[in-house]
Amino acid sequence: DAGITQSPRYKITETGRQVTLMCHQTWSHSYMFWYRQDLGHGLRLIYYSAAADITDKGEVPDGYVVSRSKTENFPLTLESATRSQTSVYFCASSESRARSGGTEAFFGQGTRLTVV
């Protein structure tokens, strides 16, 4: 089915472990985004990507790594998980503004990550 999917939906990991959250979209959208959502902070941008092999930092990039070797995939890696990274993570994608006139973003269903 077309859309944007995240995996896993739920993850519990221990502090210090590396964990990767996956995001896959079937629309061939140029842009992809990773956000974290915490109570009182809304959605905060971690990293974003304008195209394959082009990534850039958002508001809260420390402790995270991304890659985008293919247009459809945008994995987010926590290199050494900390309790402060316990959050709900959302991936989103959008077409480029130059092509669509806007940057309406569509979200995956989210990954709830708990670091213990």
- 106 touching another protein, by CB under 8 A: yes
Site string for another protein, 15-54 (x = CB under 8 A): ----------------x-x-x----xxxxxx--x-x---x
With contacts defined by CB under 8 A, name the span among 7-15, 19-27, 67-75, 97-105 that binds another protein.
97-105
Cα 69 to chain centroid, rounded: 15
| Nearest approach, Cβ of residue 81 and another protein (Å) | 22
Strand 111-115 relative to strand 10-13, pairing: parallel
Q: Which of 61, 63, 75, 110 touches another protein (CB under 8 A)? A: 110
Q: Rounded to the nearest 5 degrees, what angle is found at the Cα of 54, between the Cα atoms of 45 and 28?
A: 85
| Nearest approach, Cβ of residue 1 and another protein (Å) | 16
- 113 touching another protein, by CB under 8 A: no
45, burial (CB in 10 Å: exposed 0-12, middle 13-18, buried 19+): middle
3-state secondary structure of 33: strand
